[in-house]
Amino acid sequence: MALFRRRRSTADTTTAVTAFWDAWPELRDALASAVEAGRPAPPDIGDRVTVLVEAVHGDLDWEIGRAPEHRPGTVEDIDLSPDVDPGKLLEQLAALDDPSQLTGGPAYAFTLRPGTSDEARVMSERWSRSAPDDEQWVFRPALPADHGRLSSVLTLDDHELDLSHTSVSLRVDQASGKIEAGVYHPDNMFLPDEVRHKLAEHVTMLALGEDDTVRWIGKVEALEERPLDPLPPTSMPAVARQMADMLGGVDGWVTLEGAHPLFGSVRIRLRHPLTRRDFPAFSLYVQVVVPFATMDADKRPVDASEAALADLESRLEETLGDDGALFAQKTERGERHYHYYLDPESGVLPSFEEQLLGWPEGKVKLRSQLDPEWTWFEAFKRPYRRTLGS
């Protein structure tokens, strides 16, 4: 089995991210004071931060504010699915009674804003992954949803707008797999078009967060009239989840079955739907081909081989943690092909390779290459696009 060492990103990118964190100790106190005072950062500090952020990627913007309050989970947050691990369930129940969850957590948040640029989102992820430990600050690669602010008063171009009066209409576009959102506020009829549009986009962003807005929203418009069937903006995540369930399979995986006249049966599992927003830092493609010895007439693994493959997959998933993910797998002709993507700067590849050593049922093959555009995954799923509806 050929083993490969991890690759690094370009020198310019690494240098820009490093330069930001090298400067951070000189910036953090002034930024924290600005948050406490409820005012923008001092001009000299703000200009310096902007230069550092734009060096990471030209499409990135930034903002500072208070970190979300650290709230303990509730019973509604517990995973009660039939296949949940009993140990994990006990941990969740114990956490509800842990008084330490009621306090602590950073006071301030520094957030990068990549907008609709996937390249900027990749770089914001790399920036956040390399952030230093800071008890006072949380570093976010994109703006998350914030339903609490949907009941606040927003000042927009000298207009004070109570967002608690906002409602939305949502339409699912089956052809594009996107949601068309209309945002209504009673003051819309008095606002200039530009302000109304800003308000609509702001409400959508607070409801879904930056990543889910890019994933699921195809169009946002401001409404002058109240929708016939108005929904609160807080309902938008539920509609997005319904869209994901409609487009995808079980737990975000689609399973396809087929037969080849020469090679026999083929079983394919792949993540769907999947966008770059799901794993923005994963750009190292790793293909692993694992043979197995015990199989049925269709050359699918059974008995000892099936158990061994399941154990291997579990160990690989545990080894990767947040530094990699399985995108697809194909089982045919007594082999299982795995298609992974990893964070090339995480250093996880050697540990991943170690888990493959000593496989007792044949020679494991592995190859890897940098693939920031996910070209290999796109090529893998291309024959199944019609089936997937994409």
Which tens digits make up the pLDDT trace of 246-266? 877 777 899 999 887 777 789
Q: How far apart are CA 113 and CA 126, in angstroms?
A: 13
342: helix, strand or coil: strand
Consecutive H or E run containing 148: none
Average pLDDT of the segment spanning 203-228: 95
Quickly count: other Cβ atoms within 10 Å of residue 357's Cβ.
9
Quickly count: other Cβ atoms within 10 Å of residue 55's Cβ.
16
- Closest by CA position to 263, among listed 335, 362, 332, 336: 332
Tokens for 281?
């830092």
pLDDT at position 389 is: 66
Q: In the predicted model, is pLDDT for residue 188 greater than 90?
A: yes
Strand ranges across the sheet with 108-113: 61-66, 108-113, 137-140
The pTM is what? 0.81
- Give the number of C-alpha atoms closer than 13 A to the C-alpha of residue 242, restricted to the C-beta side: 11
Q: What percent of the chain has pLDDT over 90?
A: 75
126: helix, strand or coil: helix
